[in-house]
Amino acid sequence: MNGNSRLIYFAQTILEAQQTTLRRVAFYLDKAQFYDRFRGQFNERQEKAVARGQDTRQDLISQLERDVREHP
């Protein structure tokens, strides 16, 4: 790997990391807005179900991001 190839590789890695960070920030903002919008409207059981759904969604997003990085 020559110098230019290394620079390109690292630049691509940095750009991918930035995109991942932007997606995660958007996810957390959406999650916060969701909870703000429905605050006080769920019972305890519903809150747990919603939290599990949010965690599952984040897990899925993380897995998809790993798959894309490993299998471009």
The 3-class SS string of 13-56 reads HHHHHHHHHHHHHHHHHHHHHHHHHHCCCCCHHHHHHHHHHHHH
Which DSSP letter does residue 39 get?
Answer: T
C-beta atoms surrounding 51 within 10 Å: 13
Q: What is the pLDDT of residue 23?
A: 87
Q: Is the predicted pLDDT of residue 25 greater than 70, yes or no?
A: yes
Q: Give the rounded percent of residues in the chain with a pLDDT score beyond 70.
A: 78
Q: Which has more confidence, 60 or 2?
A: 2
Q: Is the predicted pLDDT of residue 70 greater than 80, yes or no?
A: no
C-beta atoms surrounding 44 within 10 Å: 7
Q: Is the predicted pLDDT of residue 31 greater than 70, yes or no?
A: yes
Place of tokens 């807005």: 33
